């Protein structure tokens, strides 16, 4: 049975801090072949929830480079999963910039009205949002330092629907790059 649990924002932050300028060996590095930004944000969110959704058609999961959902690595599929998920895994809703918290998500849009970059919120400084990302690796970079012509959208991660497990063991193994599962 699924239970709604809190999303652990501190774990998502800790993971971003550890891996913003490195690559967890459990994951393929997509930099240079479409970008690693959404995969990195997915990893951060997974660190904060330790629950994947293995639905082949509309889930959110990563087993290896050849067995992953489109939502793990694609900006638009990631958004669709997070704001519509009613099954297991993390879920959220679109919000405004003033409602963001650490562990939430920002997606940037270009002049062709296409969302192209995913960032995770890792702090705040003088009313500025600080974000972390891969592809153009960054930790606690000011959001206003990015150039994005057509705006952004913001996703608040509300919680996680999960099957009961030991969250501390899952985080420890994942954080150290030992295992994707507890």
The domains of the chain are located at 3-175
Dihedral angle at the C-alpha atoms of 20, 139, 103, 25, nearest 10 degrees?
0
Per-residue pLDDT of the chain (182 residues; tens, 9 = 90+): 688 999 999 999 999 999 999 999 999 898 888 789 999 999 999 999 999 999 988 999 999 999 999 999 999 999 999 999 999 999 999 999 999 999 999 999 998 889 999 999 999 998 899 999 999 999 999 999 998 878 999 999 999 998 766 777 778 888 888 877 65
pTM given for the model? 0.89
């Amino acid at each position: 049975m699924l239970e709604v649990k809190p999303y652990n924002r501190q774990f998502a932050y800790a993971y971003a801090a550890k891996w913003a300028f490195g690559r967890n060996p459990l994951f393929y590095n997509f930099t240079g072949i479409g970008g690693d930004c959404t995969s990195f944000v997915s990893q951060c969110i997974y660190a904060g929830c330790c629950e994947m959704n293995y639905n082949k058609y509309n889930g959110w999961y990563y087993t290896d480079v050849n067995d992953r959902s489109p939502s793990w690595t694609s900006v638009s599929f990631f958004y669709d999963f997070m704001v519509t998920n009613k099954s297991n895994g993390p879920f959220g809703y679109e919000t405004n910039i003033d409602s963001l918290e650490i562990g939430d998500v920002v997606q940037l849009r270009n002049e062709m009205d296409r969302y192209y970059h995913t960032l995770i919120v890792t702090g705040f400084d003088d009313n500025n949002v600080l974000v972390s990302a891969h592809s153009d690796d960054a930790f606690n970079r000011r959001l206003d330092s990015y150039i994005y012509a057509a705006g952004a959208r913001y996703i608040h991660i509300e919680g996680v629907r999960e099957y009961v497990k030991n969250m501390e063991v899952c985080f420890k193994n994942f954080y150290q790059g030992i295992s994707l599962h507890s």
